[in-house]
Amino acid sequence: MVFYIGNYMNKTFSALYASAVPQLFSTFATKKHREMFRLVHVLVLSLFGVAVSMQLNAATTGAIHGSNGMVASRSMIASRAGVEVMKAGGNAIDGAVATAFALAVTHPSAGNLGGGGLMVIRLANGNIVTNDHREKAPAAAHRDMYLDAQGDVVKGLSTDTHLATGVPGSVAGLLDVLDAHGDLEREKVLAPAIALARDGFPLSFDLAAAFKRRLEAFSKHPATFKKFTRDNGTPLQEGDVWKQPDLAKTLVRIAEQGRDGFYKGKTADLLVAEMKANNGIITHQDLVDYQSVWREPVHGTYRGHDIYGMAPPSSGGVLVVQMLNMLEPYDIGAAGFGSASNVHKMIEAERRAYADRARHLGDPDYYEVPMAMLASKDYAKKRFADFNPARANRSTEIDPGNFDKESMETTHLSSMDIAGNMVAYTTTLNLSYGIKMIATGTGFLLNNEMDDFSSKPNTPNSFGLIGGEANAIQPGKRMLSSMSPTIVTKDGKPLLVTGSPGGSTIITTVFQVIVNVIDHAMNVADAVAAPRFHHQWQPDRVIYENRGLSPDTVRILQDKGHQQMSAWVFGGGIGDANSIMYVGEELQGKSDPRNDGGAAGF
């Protein structure tokens, strides 16, 4: 009885207090005052015993519940690192940056120092900002660098060699974001990642198995083989404590010196030496010249909600808005989740948006992207005018323009705090473990992001995506991305942070999570877990998660003319949409059940 009364009072206090926090928080103008208030806030929550969560209450929705801060990512250890710095007085931006650096340690296939990322941030005052730290083509890159004398693409050059590596942007971007909007000192935010790299952490089954599967690839590069094995050759096992001393030293240099700890000095020397020894082209000047860019977000609306995404060089933000615009005239909720009529409409929206991607999208600093047109409701209406509810269009009718296996790599984290700061962050090395080689002495893997350029017009890249002039290689240019970190608000208040890895399937994953929340009123756990399907214009094929569409739904869709439909057979499924929702006065987080990640809150 005492417990129930105590619990009731506790919850009532918690609800009242939490609802007042955003207002209280916004009255503090300076970073220092906000940090002091946050510390007091955490203390208050702890005193009243409401600093709960991790797994508590999960039974109510299948999500992790938090009353103060939350991170959802592909690695539970990394999410906890984010929560640790939030508990120490950090906001959601500090939490996201701490998690991102920790992912470089605990999720090395995609978490990175040697790659790039795109971040969408909603600040507690309601402003939306985005940071583009996509990799760039080195100054010595040129349009035909992956073609042979006959003008054909040389297989593997843009994926498996040092020539595949774009100038890394993650460290510059994360530090810029922290500087502009974090509440904590750099050293504090990097501390968990440094400790994880220096002291090690026990390998999960998932991670040990992933290393074993790649031993042959790692064995081609001595420093990489050493990093990913025990005693320079024995496969690492589940439970082994995995230490990464070189990576720890690189992280310490970044913590102590800021961007100079990566783009200059010892780290830069090691990276450039690695390039020189292996026919790579990244120079000291490329590193010094690298800058992240603050860009205007892409903004759209959907049934009274505001959708904020990343502008080009991401294709994701604008494609998500385009597809939602095409759906808006229809009552998707009434037709029901997974109904053939909804799936048909969504496939047709995806087909048209991806055709536009190939034609119009590239780095806006090098190519004029018709953003206003693509994101407008008017354009969506015209683009969808030839939609036929009874019949599938052929992709050649949409735009006369291959599809290998997909990689699940790239990774997404979401972070939110009760003050209303929200962070959607997607980061990548491109394919799993990038070129599968580290820069010797640095401990970090090199990306193969150059493959996201179109090496030759109308020739598919590793994701089967086709591009043209807009995404041709030029020195200093950013390659087109599908990364779609997204924030959704309603009436100016936080609602959803989402995003996903999955190459070309990133965009359709994010699109479907949003439709699940807005049209089907799903909670975050259901919205993230619900089965997905994907169409990307070329090849003209629908893929759907195993058992994600019922056999009779597939038959109806085939009768409409979706002739090529196949069940997805790679990895856990399509996407890994680690997401957070703001519900009433609490945060609900869900790491995608398709993978071995985790949401943590307090």
Sign (positive or negative) of CA dihedral 14, 16, 19, 20: negative
Q: Virtual CA dihedral for 70, 76, 81, 85, nearest 10 degrees? A: 10
- With contacts defined by CB under 6 A, name the span among 171-179, 304-312, 480-488, 529-537 that binds ligand GLY: 480-488
DSSP type of residue 97: H
Considering only residues 482, 486, 588, 595, which one is a binding residue for ligand GLY as defined by CB under 6 A? Answer: 482
- How far CA 590 is from CA of 72, 428, 593, in Å, comes to 6, 21, 8
- With contacts defined by CB under 6 A, name the span among 206-214, 257-265, 335-343, 478-486 that binds ligand GLY: 478-486
Q: Which residue has the tokens 């609602």?
A: 495
- The distance of closest approach from Cβ of residue 315 to ligand GLY in the complex, given in angstroms and rounded to an integer, is 8
106 vs 427, beta carbon nearer ligand GLY: 427
Nearest to 330 by CA among 379, 387, 392: 387
Q: CA triplet 185, 169, 408: central angle to 5 degrees? A: 105
| 106 lines the binding site for ligand GLY (CB under 6 A) | no
- Residues in contact with ligand GLY, counted by CB under 6 A, come to a total of 9
| 410 lines the binding site for ligand GLY (CB under 6 A) | yes
Question: Which residues inside 483-512 make contact with ligand GLY, applying CB under 6 A?
Answer: 483, 503
165 vs 428, beta carbon nearer ligand GLY: 428
| 114 lines the binding site for ligand GLY (CB under 6 A) | no
- How far CA 277 is from CA of 114, 180, 242, 270, 435, in Å, comes to 18, 37, 28, 11, 15
Question: Which residues inside 260-289 make contact with ligand GLY, applying CB under 6 A?
Answer: none
Considering only residues 67, 75, 250, 430, which one is a binding residue for ligand GLY as defined by CB under 6 A? Answer: 430
Structure tokens at 492: 């100016």
Structure tokens at 284: 């000291």
200 vs 468, beta carbon nearer ligand GLY: 468
60 belongs to the catalytic site: no
- The distance of closest approach from Cβ of residue 265 to ligand GLY in the complex, given in angstroms and rounded to an integer, is 28
Structure tokens at 467: 């591009």
- With contacts defined by CB under 6 A, name the span among 138-146, 353-361, 475-483, 514-522 that binds ligand GLY: 475-483
- The distance of closest approach from Cβ of residue 298 to ligand GLY in the complex, given in angstroms and rounded to an integer, is 15
Sign (positive or negative) of CA dihedral 274, 159, 175, 200: negative
- How far CA 54 is from CA of 30, 207, 233, 371, in Å, comes to 30, 22, 37, 41
3-state DSSP helix/strand/coil % of the chain, to nearest 5: 40, 15, 40
Considering only residues 53, 244, 428, 505, which one is a binding residue for ligand GLY as defined by CB under 6 A? Answer: 428
109 vs 428, beta carbon nearer ligand GLY: 428
293 vs 581, beta carbon nearer ligand GLY: 293
Angle between the 92-106 and 186-199 helix axes, to the nearest 10 degrees?
Answer: 20
Question: Which residues inside 434-473 make contact with ligand GLY, applying CB under 6 A?
Answer: 449, 452
The catalytic position among 161, 410, 428, 486 is 410
353 vs 418, beta carbon nearer ligand GLY: 353
Q: Distance between CA atoms of 427 and 436, rounded to whole angstroms?
A: 17
Catalytic residues: 410
- Where does this chain bind ligand GLY (CB under 6 A)? 410, 428, 430, 449, 452, 481-483, 503
